[in-house]
Every structure is written in structure tokens, then in C-alpha cells.
């Protein structure tokens, strides 16, 4: 794909409780980003928001956050899925030639002001699953975890190994909400079960947070930044709704979304051509599961790859060097944050967690029960 869309800049915020309002968070993120780039809202010709009406407790919630982002009297639309879908949608507006500068803002206050688990509850079939009251985000993830571990012949301890790597990376990333110093596999294994095999520290923490990203055309990229990060490919896919019809040991949506993104970016061997991946794994098992599905790790060899350090910051295929969603999951923003964290790596600004040679990166986002929907972007310098 030609270099037509660039990330000019981004801002991330995440904490268990940001002690702020939705409007203030959106203002701080977007005004901060405009200040970083030395421009005003006059330079922006399109705004794309990603929020959820249930999480915000009001319908058409972006009418309240649009003005806070400086989007009044401008073109505004909202995507109500994961924020990586908002990034893809916003990019299409630039590729089509309609816009040159688009601000994408995604957020939720699901740490302090709304329960994250309701988001999934309200997505379930009201005449079946919501009647039976057995399926919820945590029980579904546990079934997926068991299915993946069984199929790969992996021990339950793989979850502790994955979580330990993520939480170590998260502790070194000031942009994360859950930062635990010196977290050990033993401490993770000692945290209480929700649904077996998933324990508290295998699961994402309820998080307040958001992300603002400025996407620009090639012409504007030259004016606004010395370190443009280019969109090289993108893909999306949606799997079957019914959990009992799906093979939970893998992710068809991630595999197909990645395949489409690789084709667009001209990537033939992702495991060797990609320098790092930021994956929206909300639970420890999803990280190797999604990495295998997207061809980043060999099927059935994930445990060996983690033990050998292949997936660590200094490894052959660094996965979630930012710490990933086990460090923060502000619903709606999490996938967009993956793209921002990948861009941070490509710009060489990831501090302690910087991957040495970072030229091409993958970012993954998901929505729905057990990643029913996946979005993938390939980014490069």
C-alpha cells in the first residue's frame, strides 16, 4: 500500500481512577495533542469518536464529548466498537481524499464510573444468553482459555508466564494503569480465581482512560512531524455470534483480519518481517492465542517461545512491549492505544521498553465475546 496516511501524534491516559469527567478527559487528550504539534483545532477537518452509550449512560454520547475535543462546527462521526475500528474508518476518509487531518478520540471511564462487565452483558442475546445468566465476559474468556490450553497441550502455568511478562512491561510503562513493582509468577498464581483457569492477575484491570490520535495525509505529514508513522495495511473480520458454534481454541477473526492486513502491506512471513506486535489480549491466554492465529508464533509452540524469551522486549518477536491490556483496558480505547504504543516504538520513544530494531509493527484490536470481531493494522516508518 502507498504511504497515504500517517500518525502525526497521539496522547494516552490510563489509571484505575483518573478523577476526571469524560469531557475533561477528552479535552485534555485532544488539546494536549494539538499543543504537542503546535496547531489549533482550525487545522483539523474531521473528528471521529469512539465511545459507548451504555458506558457513558446517555444516548448519542459523542454529542457531549465532540465539543470538548474542539469538534464543534466540524464533521463528526462515532464508531461504537473498539477504537482500532475508529482508526481504520478515519483512515479511509483520508485515503479517499476527502480529508487531510482527522482527530480520533476514544475513551471510557470503566475504572471509576461504570462497570466494564456490563459492556459485554448488554451485547448478549436478550432472549437466550441473558435469560440463562451463565454467559458473561469472564465465564466466556475462561472457556476460551481452557479450550486453547487443551488444544495446544499447554499447562495452566502458561497463563502465569504470559501475565508475568506483560505486567513486568506494564510496570516500566508510565502510560499504564496497573503497575506492580516486581510482580512474580508466584504472586500471579496466588491471585484468586474468577472462573478457572483465569485468576485476577490473568485478567485486565477495570480502567479509566482514553487515547487521542491525529491521522494526516502525506502532504500534511511533511508539515506536522519529523517522525511520521505510516499505515501500511489494515484488515477486519467478524466471526460467528454464537459461542457454541465457534472453535474457541483459536481466533478466526484475528487470522482473517491479519491476513487481509498482511496482503495490503505486502507481508509474506509475518513472524520474520514484523519487529513487534501490540495485541489486544484482555486475558493472559488471548495473547499467545491471538499471536498464533495471526502467524506471529508457531501453533503449539507458544509456551516454548515465552520461556525462551522470544516474546520479551529484547526477544525475536516482542509481543506487547507496552505491557498490553493487562496493564490497562479502557473499553473503546484499548485497540487504538495498541496502535499508539506501536507508533511509540516505531518513533523510538518507548523508553525502558524500547525494542532495538523497530521498523514494522502490528496492532490488533477486538470487540465482542472472545474476540468475535478483530481489527488489525500494520504500521511502519
Partner 1 sequence: MEEIKDTFLHPVVPLDFQNNYRVGAYLQRYLDGFKEKKILGAKCSQCGRVVVPPRKYCGACNLVMEEFTELPQEGTLENFTVGHVNLEKGQWKRADAPYVIGMVRLDGAANAMLARLNVSPADARAGMKVKAVWKDQVEGEHADLDCFEPA
Exactly one of 30, 85, 136, 374 binds partner 1 (CB under 8 A); which one?
136
Alpha helices in 232-318 (DSSP H): 252-265, 270-273, 286-293, 302-307
Of the candidates 349, 270, 378, the one whose C-alpha atom is nearest the C-alpha of residue 316 is 270
Q: Which span sits near partner 1 by CB under 8 A: 237-245, 298-306, 314-322, 330-338? A: 237-245
Exactly one of 131, 223, 263, 300 binds partner 1 (CB under 8 A); which one?
131
Name the residue with cell 464543534: 72
Cα–Cα dist 100/88, whole Å: 15
Is 118 a binding residue for partner 1 by CB under 8 A? The answer is yes
What would the grid cell of residue 361 be?
509493527
Cα–Cα dist 157/47, whole Å: 44
Exactly one of 10, 47, 49, 54 binds partner 1 (CB under 8 A); which one?
54
Is 332 a binding residue for partner 1 by CB under 8 A? The answer is no
Q: Which is nearer to partner 1, 53 or 218 (CB)?
A: 53
Q: Which is nearer to partner 1, 63 or 240 (CB)?
A: 240
What would the grid cell of residue 26 be?
477528552
Cα–Cα dist 292/46, whole Å: 36
Is 253 a binding residue for partner 1 by CB under 8 A? The answer is no
Cα–Cα dist 48/102, whole Å: 7
Q: Which is nearer to partner 1, 57 or 266 (CB)?
A: 57
Cα–Cα dist 24/16, whole Å: 16
Q: Which span sits near partner 1 by CB under 8 A: 123-131, 273-281, 331-339, 358-366? A: 123-131
Is 138 a binding residue for partner 1 by CB under 8 A? The answer is yes
HSE-up (13 A, CA, CB side) for residue 233: 22
Exactly one of 186, 226, 245, 269 binds partner 1 (CB under 8 A); which one?
245
Interacting residue ranges for partner 1, rule: CB under 8 A: 19, 54, 57-58, 113-118, 121, 126-129, 131-132, 134-136, 138-139, 142-143, 146-147, 150, 192-197, 240, 242-245, 248
Amino acid at each position: 500500500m502507498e504511504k497515504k496516511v500517517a500518525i502525526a501524534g497521539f496522547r494516552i491516559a490510563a489509571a484505575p481512577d483518573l478523577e476526571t469527567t469524560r469531557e475533561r478527559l477528552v479535552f485534555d487528550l485532544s488539546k494536549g495533542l494539538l499543543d504537542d504539534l503546535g496547531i489549533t483545532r482550525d487545522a483539523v477537518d474531521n473528528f471521529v469518536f469512539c465511545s459507548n452509550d451504555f458506558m457513558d449512560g446517555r444516548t448519542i454520547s459523542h454529542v457531549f464529548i465532540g465539543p470538548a475535543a474542539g469538534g464543534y462546527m466540524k464533521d463528526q462521526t462515532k464508531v461504537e466498537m473498539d477504537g482500532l475500528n475508529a482508526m481504520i474508518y478515519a483512515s479511509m476518509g483520508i485515503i479517499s481524499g476527502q480529508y487531510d487531518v482527522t482527530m480520533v478520540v476514544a475513551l471510557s471511564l470503566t475504572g471509576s464510573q461504570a462497570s466494564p462487565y456490563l459492556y459485554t452483558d448488554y451485547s448478549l442475546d436478550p432472549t437466550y444468553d441473558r435469560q440463562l445468566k451463565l454467559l458473561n465476559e469472564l465465564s466466556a474468556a475462561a472457556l476460551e482459555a481452557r479450550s486453547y490450553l487443551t488444544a495446544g497441550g499447554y499447562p495452566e502455568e502458561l497463563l502465569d508466564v504470559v501475565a508475568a511478562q506483560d505486567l513486568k512491561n506494564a510496570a516500566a510503562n508510565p502510560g499504564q494503569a496497573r503497575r506492580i513493582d516486581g510482580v512474580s509468577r508466584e504472586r500471579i498464581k496466588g491471585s484468586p480465581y474468577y472462573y478457572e483457569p483465569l485468576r485476577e492477575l490473568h485478567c485486565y484491570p477495570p480502567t479509566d482512560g482514553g487515547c487521542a490520535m491525529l491521522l494526516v495525509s502525506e502532504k500534511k505529514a511533511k508539515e506536522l512531524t519529523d517522525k511520521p508513522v505510516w499505515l501500511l495495511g489494515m484488515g477486519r473480520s467478524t466471526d460467528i455470534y454464537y459461542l457454541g458454534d465457534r472453535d474457541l481454541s483459536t481466533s478466526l477473526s484475528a487470522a482473517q483480519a491479519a491476513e487481509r492486513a498482511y496482503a495490503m502491506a505486502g507481508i509474506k512471513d509475518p513472524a520474520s518481517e514484523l519487529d513487534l506486535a501490540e495485541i489486544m489480549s484482555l486475558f493472559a491466554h488471548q495473547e499467545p492465542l491471538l499471536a498464533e492465529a495471526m502467524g506471529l508464533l508457531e501453533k503449539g509452540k507458544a509456551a516454548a517461545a515465552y520461556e525462551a524469551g522470544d516474546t520479551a522486549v529484547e526477544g525475536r518477536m516482542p509481543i506487547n512491549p507496552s505491557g498490553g491490556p493487562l496493564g490497562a483496558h479502557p473499553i473503546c480505547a484499548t485497540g487504538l492505544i495498541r496502535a499508539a504504543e506501536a507508533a511509540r516504538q516505531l518513533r523510538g520513544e518507548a523508553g525502558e521498553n524500547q525494542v532495538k530494531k523497530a521498523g514494522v509493527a502490528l496492532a490488533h484490536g477486538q470487540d465482542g465475546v472472545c474476540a468475535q470481531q478483530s481489527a488489525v493494522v500494520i504500521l511502519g516508518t
